[in-house]
Chain A
Amino acid sequence: MYEKKAKIMNSLGIHARPASMLVKLASNFESKVELEKDDIKVNAKSIMGVLMLASEKGCEIIIRAEGEDEKEAVESIVELIEKRKFDEE
C-alpha cells in the first residue's frame, strides 16, 4: 500500500470537470485507488464518490492505492491536484 496527502489548490475545488479528470486518470491504473477526506473514504474510480467528497480549495485529501502500480497511481494523482491544478490556472 502506498499513500500521500495533497492539498486542493484550484479556486473552485474538485467540481465537475476536475472530478472527471481525476476519475479518468485513476481508471488508467490497475491498483485499487481511494481518496480520503475527514474520515470519509471513496473509490477514486467512481465519479460520484469523488464528487461526494466535496473537496473545496484549501482542504487536504489522502490518496491511497494498493496494487502493482500503486506508487505511480498515487504520484500522478498528486501531480494532477498540486502541480497541474487540474489545468485550471
Chain B
Amino acid sequence: MKNKIIRGIPVSPYLTIGKAFIYLPKDTTLRRLKGGGNIDGEISLFENTRKKSLEQLVELKLELKKLPSSQPAKLIDVQILFLQDPSFLEDVEKRIRSDGESAEGAIINFLESLERDFKDIPSSYIGERYFDVKDVGDRLISNLHNEEDSEEVKMGLKGSNNIVVAKRLSPSETVQMKNSDKINGIITELGGKTSHIAIIAEALNIPAVVGVNGLLDEIESGDEVIVDGISGIIVIDPNEKTKRRFEQKEKEAKRIRDEFFKGRELPATTIDGYSIDIAANIELPMEISCIKKYGAKGVGLLRTEFLYLTSDSIPDEEMQYRFYSEVADTCSPDYVIVRTFDLGGDKIFKTEIKEEANPFLGWRGIRFALSNEGIFRTQLRAILRASAKGNIRLLIPMVSTVGEMIKVRRIVGEIMEELKTEGQSFDENIEIGAMVEIPSICLLADRFAGVVDFFSIGTNDLTQYTLAVDRGNKRVSKLYDHLDPSVIKLMKMTVEKAHQNHKWVGVCGEIAGDLVAVPLLIGLEVDEFSVPPSFIPQIKNVIRGLSLKEAKELLGQAEKKESAIEVRGFLKDELLKRFPSLKDILVEDEK
C-alpha cells in the first residue's frame, strides 16, 4: 500500500475510485527497415495491415457522422482514399519486391518522400493535408506492429471503472472518449481549467483532475486510484483507511447533491424576494439534454468554437443553423445567448492562424471576425435564421472598443436586409450584447450602453487582462483569482452604468459557478448567472438561503479587503456559517 498522494487542478467536482488505464500515444517508432528475404510475407503483412486500417477508418467515419458537423466525417474520406490510392499501392509493392524493404520500411520511406513533395506546395491550406496522410501513416504503422505482436496481450479498456491517465488528451481523443461508458475518471499531466477535456468531463459528470505534475512517473497501469475532482487530490494505491474516508466523502457529496437536485426547478429568489435568472453554459450537442434536466432558465452562453474544433474547415451555414435551431427550440420560450466564434489565443484553428507572439493580446474574437467577414457573416446568417425558431440573443466576444460594436450592428443590419429579400424569417428585434472581458468596456460602460442591449461578464478573461496574468503559466498563475478586489470593482462599475442606462447584465465566467462568489454577485445585483448545467441546483440553493440585504453587506466588506486570498477566505467563512453542509462539495483552494 503506497497510499501516495499527488495534487492537480480539479476541473469536474465529482469523486471516484477505479483502475488506472495509461493512455499512450500510438507506438510508431521504426522497428525494421529491411525485408529479410520473405517478400510474400511482407506483402501479406502490408495487405492485412491496410485492410485493418481501412475497417477502422470506415468505422470511425460512421461514428463521426453522428456529429452535427459533416466536416470531420468528410476529412476521413481523404484517409480512406489514401489507403486505396493506386500510386501508394504500386510504390509500396515495388519497394518490397525490388528494393527488398520491409512492409514497415516501405510505408515509412513512401511517407517521407511524400512529405518532401507536400512541403513544396505553396498553399498552406493544401499543404496541411500532409497531416491527414501522416495520421493515416501512423495508423498503418501502429496496426502493423499490432499485427506483428498478435500474441502479446493488447492493451485496451477492459471492464468498467477505468481511470484514464494520460499526458494530454487532444480534442479528437476527447470526442472519441466521450462515447465510452467504461470511463469513470480522467487524470492528465498537462491541461488547465479551460482545456477541452475539462469542459467535456464536467458536461458528462466524470471526475477529472488535470495539470498533475509528474503523473506518469508515479502511476502504473492497473494501479487502484482515487480521483477527487473536488480537491484535486489523487491517491495512488490507497490504504483501507483512506478508502473508507474517501467513500464517506463521496457518499456525503452525493447526498448533498441529490438534496440540491430536488430543488432544481424552484426559482432563484432570495429570502427577501429578489429574483435572478440562472441559465446554462453549453457548447456540445450532447449537453442540450442537460439544460432542462438541471432546471436551467435557458442558455446564457452557447459557445460555438466546438463547431470548429472537431473539423478543420469552415462549418457551413446549414449545419450551424441546425445546431442553433435545435438549442433554441429546446429552450423556447426561454432565451439562448449565442456567442459568435471566439477563436485565437489558446483555441485551435490550425489552418488559418499563424503563431503570434502574444496570442491573448492578438487577433481573436471580434477582431478576427471583422477581418474574416465571410466566416462572420455566415455565422450571423445562421444565428439570425435560427432566431425565428425561438428566443435567440447574440453575444460578441473580445470587444474592446465602441467602434467594433457599431460595425457589428451595421453588418447585422445588412444581413437582415439580405434575409428579408430572400423571404427568410428572423427576429427583427434580436438583442445584441458584448462580452465584458477587457477592462476598457468596464471603464466606458456608459458609452457602451448606447451600442449594446446587454452585457455579459466573462470573468476568466476579465481577470487575466486586469491582473496581466496568464493562468496557464505556472510561475504566475497564483496571482490569478476572479475574486481580486480590482475585478470586483470593474464588475461593479459595469453593473451600475448598465443599470443606469436600463441595460441588463449577465455573468458567464467561472465566478458564476464559484459558490463562495454567489453572495458577491447577488450583492452586485447582476441580472443573470450562466453556469455549467450541473452547478445550477447548488447555486439556486445558496441563493434561496440568502437575502439581498445581507449579500450587499457582504459585498461591502469584501470590497474593502486587500487581496483575493482575503476576499475568498472571508466569503468562504461566511458561506459555511450559513450552509455548513457545503464543506463537502466546495472545491478546495489550490495550494
Contacts and interface: CB of A to CB of B under 8 A. Distances in A.
A17 B114 contact: no
A48 B74 contact: no
Given A43-B87, A56-B123, A24 B313 contact: no
Most buried by B among A13, A24, A46, A49: A46
Give the dominant DSSP class at B's interface.
helix
A15 B114 contact: no
B132 interface: yes
B78 interface: yes
Contacts of A52: 117-118, 121
Contacts of A49: 85, 87
Interface string A18-54: 0110011000000000000000000101111101101
A34 to B, nearest CB: 12
A12 B462 CA distance: 36
Given A23-B81, A52-B121, A16 B129 contact: yes
A43 B126 contact: no
Interface residues of A, number: 20
B124 to A, nearest CB: 10
Contact of B82 (A15, A45, A48): A48
Interface in B106-134: 114, 117-118, 121-123, 125-127, 129, 132-133
A46 B85 contact: yes
A47 B126 contact: no
Contact of B122 (A24, A47, A54): A54
B77 A54 contact: no
B465 interface: no
Contacts of B75: 16-17
A51 B126 contact: yes
Nearest to A49: B87
30 contacts: A12-B125, A13-B123, A13-B125, A14-B126, A15-B126, A16-B77, A16-B129, A16-B313, A17-B74, A17-B77, A17-B313, A19-B78, A19-B129, A20-B74, A20-B77, A24-B81, A43-B86, A45-B86, A46-B85, A46-B88, A47-B78, A47-B85, A48-B82, A48-B87, A49-B85, A49-B87, A51-B78, A54-B126, A56-B123, A56-B126
Q: 5 smallest A-B Cβ distances: which pairs? A: A47-B81, A20-B77, A46-B87, A54-B121, A16-B78
